[in-house]
Chains A and B, each alone.
Chain A
């Protein structure tokens, strides 16, 4: 059975991440994980004419780096799954125009990284594809202008706000033996506990993460399989809420939990509550966590990417923010890098 319990997928075949590629912006490069990214840019425009082109370049670079490492070209890939935060997923669509790989565009806000990885792994497991790449990107300036205010606008943000990560991450998945094995995935439900403040997405997303993690533990019948449970971008506000919500259900993950939004920046970087965005979980997972798994510092990790399905128009119409979280289980396989 591939479906375990209600929401967990267990892949029957051995599925591996064969290669990863990450590109990141200047703030991310200065952060504690700066050295883990394959390529970093020292200015937000990445040498392009506008922000959207800069984001596109990040995604293209992450794909190129991912494929170059294993000496493959886009022609060798069967399905390209990608998404970003912009309207109509423009970054992913325009990159797909370039790559010419059969393309599945996905939107799960900041949960897209694990959504694409989970669906891609399922396609490989079922034999609909031999090799897939899953890619996500976000850019601080494109996200600011779409969801908030112009980048240079001098409005004051509260401490609960998050800072959109500039970057892109890509993973290559196939049945060929690789260093990281993808064993399970868990698909989340949309949760909404009535948070309406787009500058407090950690509070909005924590229930979605708690729901997905709790359901996954229920599905597999165990709560202590993992040496790290990492959430996407709950930040300094959402992380303690998640731990509390799970504690209320009798699950204690406090010793094993971390959040990509807290890992990517340090507290001196003036990023409010922490990092967020599609790229946050993507670059931390593909750049840092994958490395730690290869090095043997970690063995089994549950990555839960959290997404606030935020629309500025819906918020202005006084709707609350629906949120979702998808998880993927990464295990150290000890195979060739």
Chain B
């Protein structure tokens, strides 16, 4: 079909007009920011182990909670989206990105009320992460269980 060919040609021809993404620099930025967030996490974990009665195993929960709080605060005062634009995956992958997706959705839908606005829309972006997280955990758990059975 002539129309189909036109479409294919168009999509090929316009590539020259698109600004090139700097993959290398984006990777470096994501690495540095993501690493820095993890460094803060390490610091918080050591803080809890050092000053409170936590072990390396139990310090995980308060550390994650603190990071979520920090990311939500940064979202609320309008900074996290700027970090996200700069860092890309560096700030999206850590738990702070998850917190940002929930807080930003909650903020956005505040105008439609607490129940139908905030509560309903809070998981709009994060919901898929939870669904696939639970499904993946289930599948991996089953595999582990059967391997364990087979080996014993």
Stretch of A124-132, A193-201, A215-223 that contacts chain B: A193-201
Q: Does B34 contact A (CB under 8 A)?
A: no
Contact of A154 with B84 in the complex, beta carbons under 8 Å: yes
On whether the beta carbons of A153 and B125 are closer than 8 Å, the reply is yes
Q: Are A159 and B19 in contact (CB under 8 A)?
A: yes
A193 and B84 in contact, given A150-B105, A203-B17 (Cβ under 8 angstroms): no
CA distance A49 to B101 in the complex (A): 22
Least CB distance, A209 to chain B, in whole angstroms: 13
Residues of B within 8 A of A195 (CB): 11
Contacts of A157 in B (CB 8 A): 85
Which residue of B17, B21, B105, B124 is within 8 Å of A241 (Cβ)?
B17
What class of interface size applies to chain A in its complex with B?
20 to 34
Interface residues on chain B, size class: 35 or more
Which 10 A-B pairs give the minimum distances between C-beta atoms? A154-B84, A150-B108, A50-B111, A150-B104, A152-B104, A194-B7, A156-B88, A159-B19, A153-B104, A193-B10
A193 CB contact (under 8 Å) in B6, B83, B97: B6
Partner of A152, one of B17, B78, B87, B92: B78
| A residues near B17, Cβ cutoff 8 Å | 203, 237, 240-241, 244
Q: What is the distance, in angstroms, from B59's C-beta to the closest C-beta of chain A?
A: 26
Inter-chain contact A154/B104, CB cutoff 8 Å: yes
B131 located at the interface, meaning its Cβ lies under 8 Å from any Cβ of chain A in the complex: no
Within 8 A of B (CB), among A280-302: none
Interface residues of A in 7-46 (CB under 8 A from B): none
Q: A145 contacts B88, CB within 8 Å?
A: no
Tell me the chain B residues, 1-47 only, with Cβ under 8 Å from chain A. 6-8, 10-11, 13-14, 17-19, 21
Q: Are A156 and B84 in contact, with the CB atoms below 8 A?
A: yes
Q: B97, A152: Cβ atoms under 8 Å? A: no
> What residues make up the interface of B, taking CB atoms closer than 8 Å to A?
6-8, 10-11, 13-14, 17-19, 21, 75-76, 78, 80-85, 87-89, 91-92, 97, 100-101, 103-105, 107-111, 124-125
Is there an interface contact between B85 and A152, defined as CB atoms closer than 8 Å?
Answer: no
In the complex, A157→B86 CA distance in Å?
Answer: 9
Kindly supply a per-residue 1/0 record for chain A positions 220-251, scoring 1 wherever the CB is within 8 Å of any chain B CB and 0 otherwise.
00000000000000001100110010000000
Q: List 8 A-B contacts (CB under 8 A).
A: A50-B110, A152-B75, A154-B84, A154-B91, A156-B87, A193-B7, A195-B11, A207-B10
User: Closest chain B residue to A157 by CB distance?
Assistant: B85
The answer to whether A152 and B7 touch across the interface, beta carbons within 8 angstroms, is no
Q: Indicate which residue in A145, A149, A153, A237 contacts B18 across the interface (CB closer than 8 Å).
A: A237
> Looking at the complex, which one of B92, B110, B125 makes contact with A156 (CB distance below 8 Å)?
B92
Residues of chain A within 8 A of B82, CB atoms compared: 154
Q: List chain A residues, Cβ under 8 A from B125.
A: 149-150, 153
Chain B positions within 8 Å of A153 at CB level:
81, 84, 100-101, 104-105, 125
